[in-house]
Structure 1
Amino acid sequence: MRDAVLGNAGSIISFRVGAEDAQHLAREFLGTFEEADLLQLPNYRILSEAHDRRDAVAAI
Structure 2
Amino acid sequence: MTLTEANLIALSGAQPLVNVSEYCRRAGIGEAEERRLLLLLGREASCHELQMNIVQRRMRAR
- Looking at secondary structure, tell me which structure has more strand per residue: 1
Higher helix share: 2
- The structure having more radius of gyration, on CA atoms, is 2
